[in-house]
Amino acid sequence: MTHSDPIEVHPAWLPAEAFRALGSRRVLVRGEGQLMDTVAGEVEQACARYGGSWRRQRQGEAGADLDGSRYELVLALTRAHPLPSAAVGVVERGTLGDEGFALTRRNGATAVLADEPAGLLYGLFHVARLGEAAFADSRPVERHLPATPLRMLDHWDNIDVHPAMGQVERGYSGGSLFWDAGVLRDDLVRVRAYGRLLAACGINRVAINNVNVHAAEAHLLTDRLGDAIAIADALRPYGIRVHLSVNFASPIALGGLPTADPLDAQVRAWWEETTRRVYESIPDFGGYVVKADSEGQPGPFAYDRTHADGANLLADALAPFGGIVHWRAFVYNHRQDWRDRSTDRARAAYDHFAPLDGQFRENAILQVKYGPMDFQTREPVSPVIAAMPSTRVAVEFQVTQEYTGQQRHVCYLGPLWSEVLGFRPWGAEESTVAQIAAASGGGLVAVSNAGDDPFWTGHPLAQANLYAFGRLAWDPGLDPIAVLDEWIDLTFQPAAGDGGAKLRDTLHAMMDESWHVYEQYTAPLGVGFMVRPADHYGPSVDGYEYTQWGTYHFADRDGVGVDRTQATGTGFTSQYPKPSGEMYESLEQCPDELLLFFHHVPYTHVLHNGSTVIQHIYDTHFEGAERAAEMRRAWEEVEPGGLITPALYARVRERLDEQVRCAQEWRDQINTYFFRKSGVPDERGRRIY
Provide, rounded to whole angstroms, the least separation between the CB of residue 217 and ligand GCV.
12
Distances in Å between the alpha carbon of 2 and those of 5, 491, 496, 640, 660? 6, 22, 27, 12, 21
Provide, rounded to whole angstroms, the least separation between the CB of residue 383 and ligand GCV.
18
**Torsional sign, CA 317, 237, 211, 404:** positive
Cβ-based nearer residue to ligand GCV, 87 or 208: 208
Q: Is 575 in the site for ligand GCV (CB under 6 A)?
A: no
Give Cα 11 distance to the centre of its chain: 20
Strand pairing partners for 26? 53
In the sheet where 139-144 sits, what is the strand order?
53-57, 26-30, 73-77, 109-114, 101-106, 139-144
**Torsional sign, CA 555, 560, 563, 564:** positive
Please select the residue that binds ligand GCV; options are 170, 408, 459, 651, rule is CB under 6 A.
Answer: 170
Q: Which of 227, 374, 486, 619 is catalytic?
A: 374
Q: Cα(62)–Cα(270) distance, rounded to whole angstroms?
A: 53
Q: Cα(564)–Cα(522) distance, rounded to whole angstroms?
A: 21
Hey, which residues between 291 and 330 contact ligand GCV (CB under 6 A)?
A: 291, 330
The secondary structure of 271-312 as a DSSP string is HHHHHHHHHHH-TT--EEEE--SSTT---GGGGT--HHHHHH
Provide, rounded to whole angstroms, the least separation between the CB of residue 330 and ligand GCV.
5
Cβ-based nearer residue to ligand GCV, 330 or 576: 330
Provide, rounded to whole angstroms, the least separation between the CB of residue 210 and ligand GCV.
6
Q: At what angle do helices 414-422 and 480-491 cross, to 10 degrees?
A: 150
Hey, which residues between 197 and 226 contact ligand GCV (CB under 6 A)?
A: 211-212
Peptide bond into 579 cis (omega under 30): yes
* Buried/exposed code over 41-64 (b: 16+ C-beta within 10 A; e: otherwise): ebbbebbeebebebbbbeeeeeee
Q: Is 169 in the site for ligand GCV (CB under 6 A)?
A: yes
Cβ-based nearer residue to ligand GCV, 105 or 170: 170
The DSSP symbol for 338 reads T
111 backbone dihedrals φ, ψ, rounded to 5°:
-120, 135
Cβ-based nearer residue to ligand GCV, 245 or 520: 245
Query: Does residue 337 have an active-site annotation?
Result: no
At residue 632's C-alpha, the angle toward residues 626 and 638, to 5°, is 145
Please select the residue that binds ligand GCV; options are 374, 452, 519, 619, rule is CB under 6 A.
Answer: 374
Phi-psi domain of 247 (left: phi exceeds 0; alpha: psi -120 through 50; beta: other): beta
Provide, rounded to whole angstroms, the least separation between the CB of residue 295 and ligand GCV.
6
Provide, rounded to whole angstroms, the least separation between the CB of residue 117 and ligand GCV.
34
Provide, rounded to whole angstroms, the least separation between the CB of residue 169 and ligand GCV.
5
Q: Cα(372)–Cα(245) distance, rounded to whole angstroms?
A: 22
Provide, rounded to whole angstroms, the least separation between the CB of residue 165 and ligand GCV.
7
Provide, rounded to whole angstroms, the least separation between the CB of residue 339 and ligand GCV.
22
Cβ-based nearer residue to ligand GCV, 109 or 207: 207
Q: Cα(371)–Cα(469) distance, rounded to whole angstroms?
A: 16
User: Could you tell me which of 51, 7, 357 has the C-alpha nearest to residue 174?
Assistant: 7
Q: Cα(342)–Cα(163) distance, rounded to whole angstroms?
A: 35
Q: Cα(377)–Cα(528) distance, rounded to whole angstroms?
A: 7
Element (H, E) at 392: strand 392-398
Strand pairing partners for 396? 369, 445
String of contacts with ligand GCV for each residue 262-291, x by CB under 6 A: -----------------------------x
The secondary structure of 30-70 as a DSSP string is E--SHHHHHHHHHHHHHHHHHT-EEEEE-TT---GGG-GGG
Q: Cα(195)–Cα(466) distance, rounded to whole angstroms?
A: 12
Cβ-based nearer residue to ligand GCV, 408 or 616: 408
Query: Does residue 295 have an active-site annotation?
Result: yes
Cβ-based nearer residue to ligand GCV, 175 or 581: 175
At residue 159's C-alpha, the angle toward residues 13 and 232, to 5°, is 55
Cβ-based nearer residue to ligand GCV, 211 or 663: 211
Provide, rounded to whole angstroms, the least separation between the CB of residue 174 and ligand GCV.
18
String of contacts with ligand GCV for each residue 117-156, x by CB under 6 A: ---------------------------------------x
Q: Which of 132, 295, 654, 683 is catalytic?
A: 295
String of contacts with ligand GCV for each residue 388-407, x by CB under 6 A: --------------x-----
Q: Which of 154, 227, 402, 563 is catalytic?
A: 402
Task: Determine the size of the site formed for ligand GCV (CB under 6 A).
Answer: 9
**Catalytic residue set:** 295, 374, 402
Residues binding ligand GCV (CB under 6 A) = 156, 169-170, 211-212, 291, 330, 374, 402
